[in-house]
Amino acid sequence: MIEAIPTQFIIIFVGLLAIMAFVGLNAVVLVYLERKVAGFIHRRPGPYEVGPPCFPHGILQPLADGLKLVGKQIFTPRGADSFLFWLAPMISIAPAIVCFIAIPFGPYLQVINTNVGLILILAFTGINVLALCLAGWASQNKYGLIGAARDISQGVAYEIPLLLVVLSVVFMTGTFNLFDIADGQGAWPWQWYIVYQPLAFILFFICALAETNRNPFDLPEAESELTAGFHTEYSGMAFACFFLAEYAYMVVAACIIAILFLGGFQGPVAPGIWWFLAKVYVLLLIMIWIRWTFPRVRFDQLLNICWKWLIPLAVLNLLITLAVIAL
C-alpha cells in the first residue's frame, strides 16, 4: 500500500505542510515586526500591552489578533455572488503557498528542484490578480470594484518590467532553475548578481513592491480612499486569508530577490539556510521601512512610473545584458 504512493508525492505533501506552517509563522512575525517598526518610526512603542509579564513588549499581540480573526463571524453581503465571493480568498492564499515549493531555502532544503522554478513562481503569483479581481467584483461593493479594477491595471502593468528584469538575469545564468541561479553565485557580496545587475535589482524591487500591493503602491487597498479596497466586505478568516496571502507574497518576493540578486543561500561561514533567512528578512524590513516612509502614489503616477520609466529601463537593461552576453 505504502509503495503505491510515489515518493515525490509524499515529499510534496510534507513540504506543503511545512510551508503552510512557515507561512503562518512568517505572518505572525511580520505582523509584529510591521507594527513595531511603524511604532518606532512614529516614536511610540507599538503593541505593548498584550501578554502576561513573562511575554513583554506585546509579543503575543499577533496571536491575539489571529484568535480574534478566527473567532469573528464570516458574512456574505447582500447581493454578493456567494460562490465567487468565497472562492476569492482561497484562490488568493493557495497559490501563495504553492510558490514556496520551488524556493531553495538552503543547499539541501527545497521541496522540488525544478527546471521551471522561476516560471512556476511567476505564474502562480499572477493568479493573485485574479483572486483580488474576483473578490472585488463578487462583493457587490463600489469600493471593492474600484479596488479590483486598480489591482488589475496595476498588476498587468507591473508584470511586464518584472518579467523583463527576470529575463535579463535568466539570460545571464541560462536557467530558470532557482537552485542553479543561487548556486551560480559566490559566497561573497561581490560575487552576487546585484553587482552585475544593479539596475535590474532596483527595478525588480520596485515591481515587487507594486506586485505585492505594498506601499507606496497599495492602491487596490488604499485605506484612506477605498476603506479597504477589494477586501472591504470580508470579515474573519476570509479577510485573514487575504492578509496571509499578502504577507506570503511579500516573503515570496523577498525570496526571489534574494535568490536572483543576493546569492540566495550563499554566504560565508554559517550554513546556507541562515543566510537565506537573514537576506529575506533584511529585504522584508526594507519593505516595511518603505511602507512607513512614503505616501501612496496617485494612480496616474503609478502607471506613469511603470510605462515611462520601468519598462524602457527594463528593456534597456535587457538589451545591454544581451549585448554583453553576445560579446
> Which residues in this chain contact another protein in the complex, by CB under 8 A?
37, 40-45, 48, 289-290, 292-294, 309
Pick 146 or 313: Cβ nearer another protein: 313
- Angle between helical axes of 7-41 and 272-291 (0-180°, round to 10): 40
Cβ pair 249, 96 in contact under 8 A: yes
Question: What does the alpha-carbon distance between residue 235 and residue 241 come to, in Å, rounded to a whole number?
Answer: 10
- Give min distance, CB of 152 to another protein, in A: 27
Tell me which residue of 24, 17, 20 sits closest to 63, measured CA to CA. 24
Pick 71 or 295: Cβ nearer another protein: 295
Question: What does the alpha-carbon distance between residue 104 and residue 114 come to, in Å, rounded to a whole number?
Answer: 10
- Give min distance, CB of 60 to another protein, in A: 17
- Give min distance, CB of 144 to another protein, in A: 31
Pick 108 or 294: Cβ nearer another protein: 294
* CB neighbour list of residue 62: distance below 8 Å, 6 or more residues apart: 27, 28, 29, 31, 32
Pick 92 or 215: Cβ nearer another protein: 215
Pick 290 or 322: Cβ nearer another protein: 290
Pick 101 or 257: Cβ nearer another protein: 257
Counting DSSP H helices and E strands in the chain, the numbers are 13, 0
- Give min distance, CB of 42 to another protein, in A: 7
- Give min distance, CB of 308 to another protein, in A: 9
- Cα–Cα–Cα angle for 318, 286, 50, rounded to 5 degrees: 150
- Give min distance, CB of 211 to another protein, in A: 19
Tell me which residue of 217, 253, 247 sits closest to 65, measured CA to CA. 247
Extract the C-alpha cell encoding 176: 530558470
